[in-house]
Every structure is written in C-alpha cells, then in structure tokens.
Structure 1
C-alpha cells in the first residue's frame, strides 16, 4: 500500500523554491523559510509567481514528486512532470477502451452514479442531523430526486445522455446547498454553482477544493501508470486532465463540499479571509487571501490524515490515499482483472 506522505503547500506569493542536496528549500527575499527532505514529500503545490529552480524540478522529477504551479487566486498554471514510467500495455488498453462507446458509457455511468450517491448521502446526513431546520423538507425532496436521477443514468444509452443527467443532478444538488450552510453571515450566501470565475466566497472555496482534489487524482493516476488526460466522462481536450476529473467526481460532495460547509459552519473561515481576485483575469471574481489559504490548507491536510474504513476494501486507510486506491481499482478493471469498476460509495 502506498504511504501517505506530505503535500507541501507554498502560499507565500514571493517564495522561491530551490534545492540543497536532497532537500527542498523555500526562500523569500533571500531568506530561507523552510526546508524538507524530498523523501518526505509526495507532491508540491505552490501559489505564487517567483517559480522554482531547474535543479529542484529535476529533483522532483527523479523522485516522482508532482510539482504544480498555481496563481495566487488558485488557478492552475503548469505542472512539472518527469519521464513516463507507466506500463505501456496498460496505457494501450486504456486508449483502446477509449474507442469503445459502450465501455465509455459504462465507466462514465459508474463515476456519475457514485457522485450522485455520495451527494445524496450528504443531503440525507443534513436531514438526519437537523430534522427541525426550515430547509429540511427541500433537502429531503432533493435527495429523493437524486435517487430518481440515478435510475435514469442506469438506463442511459450513451455518454452524452449520462452527461445530461449528471448536469440535471448537479443542478438539483446545488439548488439546496444553501440550506446546509447554517452560518448565515452574508458573505456565505450561496445561490448557485459558479465556476469560471467564482463570484462569491462559497464558490471560491469549492473551486479551490476541487483544484486540490484534481491535482491529487491526476498524481494518483500517473502513479499507477494511467494517462490522466484520456477520460471517458469529461471530453478530451489538450491540457485537460479528463480522467482525473472523471475520478474526482466520486469525491466532490463527500470530501470537498462537506469540508467547505464544515469550515463555514464552524466559523474557521470568515469573511475577512476573502478578497476580490484582482489581476487574475476576471472581473467580479473572489478568492481566498493568503491567510485564508493557509487556514484552508492546514485543515485540508488534517482532513486527509483522517482514517476511514474503505467501503470496498474494508480496510482502514487515510482519506488522502483514497484517490490512489480508486486509481488502483481502475487499473484492475482496465486490465480485465475485475468485471466492474468499484467506485467509492459512502455508507
């Protein structure tokens, strides 16, 4: 089993990454802020504009450490990737299967059914924990509607039909999310999901979490030898990690949405932790401040260390390893070792 190592998040905008022997060194204004042995790091995510030395990039490449660059607002910029060492036979099978429309439909359906199931569990948990809340009736109705959407997806005959039902399910789910937010601070008012760019605090937190999750899923797929860019549910386009986006569908509600709602309801994140994303190419966009990102990432790391019983393997594992486990199960399915893919389904 893969060992859960540290993800190093660099949030200081003017930080520069370099190497000293086998250590990763973080500096700002020619002063060393932090150093850590590369052997203790699984991936590095940096939010800034100073960049990294070629020596550090080579060190990361040689040690299989994913190095990703984001803007200070959390928008993906680039990813450093070393030589591909994946099983060529596995990738050949992956590309061959991508041309099989029925195979793509079945796998896409698995991802979306898991997404809807886990979203229903999020809504049902609210109904259970807050039976007297004024929004409980609407949330319960939405959970039942999602159950009906699952039946439609099972009967779908194409990937396009699956995508259509997935979009409807997402609309139902996000249509009642505001009821789950018990902190009624005006900053956390939520009307609908807005992606590009996020125009309010809740959408900014959701987008930030999805970005982190996509990074983890992409690294997990590469780690087992799959091409994260060849997806089945999300259309394939240059520079888009379509399969990573497919895989993360299972985790969106259970891992990111519940995490964001918890941060808001427990008041760990406040209105002062947000700022207009000036200079990020979008008018009206909102993003976390540097201090806000630090709070978010600290609790995100702690969340990833929490152990659960994996519903399929029935083994205790850290949440941070879930993308790697699902990537392994996906390879077994693609090799023909499993008759069906076993998505992550919350109980």
Structure 2
C-alpha cells in the first residue's frame, strides 16, 4: 500500500527554504517558521518570491519531491523535479492507450461521468442541508440542475467518442456554474458569483476557484509521476487536459 504524504504550501513572499539534515526548514526574515521531515513530503508549493537552497533542491529531486512555483495569484510558473523514474513498460502501455481511440474513450468516459456525478452530489447536498432556508426560485434552479447533471452523467455511457464526451463535460460545467451562486451562503457582495471566468478571473470567487484548481493540478500531476506515469500523455487524453494545453499555447 502506498503511503500518502504531505504537501507544504509556502505563502510568505520573504520565505527562504533550506535543508537541515533530513528536514525542510522554512525561514522568514532569518527566523525559523516551520520544519518538516523530507520523508513525509510529497511536494512543495511556493507562492511569490520564496527561494530555496541548492542543497534542498538536490535533496527534493533525489527523494522525488516536486517543487512548484506559483505567483501570488495562484498562476502556475514553473516546476522543479528530479530524473524521471518508474517502469518504462508501464509508460509504453500508457502511450499505446493514448493512441488507441477506443481505449482512451473508456478512460475519458469514466472521468467525465465521475465529474458530472460529483457536481450533482454537491447540489444534492445543498438541497438536503439548506433547501429549507433557500428562496423558492433558488431551490427550483438547483433541482433542475441536479436532474440535468444526472442526465449528463448517464449520457456519458453512450457517448462513442472523446469529442462527444468533451461536449458533455462542457455542458455539465455550464449547468453547474450556472447555479453555483446559489450554493454560496455568505451574504457579502465580495462573494457574489456572476459566472465562471478564467485567465484572468474577474472576481474573488473565480480567483479562489482558479487558485484551488492550481493546487489540485499540482497534486494530480504528482500522483501520476509517483506511479511512473507521464502526466503530459494523461493530460492530452482528457477533455479538460486538451483544453488547458490549447489555452496555454494561444
């Protein structure tokens, strides 16, 4: 059984990361603010201008600990990682699956179906826990979105191509974010949600969503690399991954 390890997030711009024995040490203005054993870490995410010593970079590379750098707004900048390891036969099988439309469709179908089902479950939980305190029009909108997401999740099982699944993923996102504002229970103008926006996010909630997606992407990529898979091939096989790569290239 693979042991799940921790990810450290460094948010102080004046932080300095260094190695002390078998530990990662975080210093801010010369004072130690945190310490963690390297063998318990899976990744380090640094925001702003935090730097790291060469000794720490070498130790992280040797231990398979990925360092990711993001700007203060959560935009990905760069990654530092050591030599690629893992079973070459496993990666060759991954490449073959990525080149086989039939096998890729099965994988993508599971991803899109699970994503739509999770969005539906979030809405169901909101209706169950807070339905009585929501306005009637919000309840009706959430109920309609829940039913439509259920239908989209079922339609993924009859989609024959990745292109069709990409369309279903986009439809599910449109439905989910169309009612996302009703899920926000904080009565504050700063948390109003007028629709999903990216690159750049146009309000605080969208900035928070983009920030969390950046953290999730770091963890997903680290998980793929930890098991010897190529994250670039994995991204190119999924609807979200292809869209993200296309947006970065334009």
TM above 0.5, one fold? yes
SS at match of 1:77: strand
In the TM superposition, what is the alpha-carbon distance from 1:6 to its structure 2 partner? 2.7
- The equivalences for 1:255-266 within 5 A come to none
- Which residue number in structure 2 is paired with residue 107 of structure 1? 107
Which stretches of structure 1, 4 residues or longer, exceed 4 Å deviation after superposition? Answer: none
Contact (CA 8 Å) 2:109, 2:156: kept in 1 or not? yes
- Which residue number in structure 2 is paired with residue 137 of structure 1? 140
- Counterpart Cα distance in 2 of 1:34 and 1:150: 44
- Which residue number in structure 1 is paired with residue 153 of structure 2? 150
In the TM superposition, what is the alpha-carbon distance from 1:150 to its structure 2 partner? 2.2
- Counterpart Cα distance in 2 of 1:147 and 1:225: 34
- Which residue number in structure 2 is paired with residue 162 of structure 1? 165
Map Cα deviations across residues 280-334 of structure 1 (whole Å, 9 max, x no partner).
xxxxxxxxxxxxxxxxxxxxxxxxxxxxxxxxxxxxxxxxxxxxxxxxxxxxxxx
- Which residue number in structure 2 is paired with residue 266 of structure 1? none
Contact (CA 8 Å) 2:114, 2:153: kept in 1 or not? no
- Structure 2 unaligned regions, length at least 5: 246-250
In the TM superposition, what is the alpha-carbon distance from 1:51 to its structure 2 partner? 2.1
- Which residue number in structure 2 is paired with residue 223 of structure 1? 226
In the TM superposition, what is the alpha-carbon distance from 1:224 to its structure 2 partner? 0.9
Contact (CA 8 Å) 1:142, 1:173: kept in 2 or not? yes
- Counterpart Cα distance in 1 of 2:45 and 2:225: 16
In the TM superposition, what is the alpha-carbon distance from 1:190 to its structure 2 partner? 0.4
Using a 3 Å threshold, how does the CA distance of structure 1 residues 236 and 120 change in structure 2: closer, same or farther? closer
Which residue of 173, 181, 199 corresponds with 1:178? 181
Contact (CA 8 Å) 2:16, 2:28: kept in 1 or not? yes
- Which residue number in structure 2 is paired with residue 233 of structure 1? 238
- The equivalences for 1:242-281 within 5 A come to none
Structure-2-length-normalised TM-score: 0.89
- Which residue number in structure 2 is paired with residue 125 of structure 1? 125
- Counterpart Cα distance in 1 of 2:187 and 2:241: 40
- Counterpart Cα distance in 2 of 1:16 and 1:57: 12
Contact (CA 8 Å) 1:46, 1:69: kept in 2 or not? yes
Which structure has the highest helix share of the two?
2
Map Cα deviations across residues 128-183 of structure 1 (whole Å, 9 max, x no partner).
12233211111011010112222332222211111011101110111011111111
- Structure 1 unaligned regions, length at least 5: 241-347
Contact (CA 8 Å) 1:230, 1:236: kept in 2 or not? no
SS at match of 2:233: coil
CA RMSD in angstroms comes to 1.8
SS at match of 1:131: helix
Structure-1-length-normalised TM-score: 0.65
Contact (CA 8 Å) 1:9, 1:46: kept in 2 or not? yes
